[in-house]
Amino acid sequence: RVIIADGYASTRQVMLDAGFSITTVDMDAIRQADGSLTCLSVFNR
């Protein structure tokens, strides 16, 4: 399972073609605070 930010259609398709299950998340508010999906990894453990 792969978690990616919304807006990366080509990356999403590559992962789907490779057989991964994809979950996309809206990252607009996090990006506005100069964050990224990696910054949220501590909350995901």
pLDDT digits (tens, 9 = 90+) for 1-45: 888 889 899 999 999 999 999 999 888 877 777 877 776 666 555
pLDDT at 32: 79
Q: What's the confidence (pLDDT) of residue 31?
A: 78
Helix (H) or strand (E) run with residue 17 in it: helix 9-17
Could you tell me the CA-to-CA distances from 8 to 15, 24, 42, 43 in Å, in that order?
11, 9, 22, 22
Q: Apex CA 41: angle with CA 33 and CA 23, to 5°?
A: 95
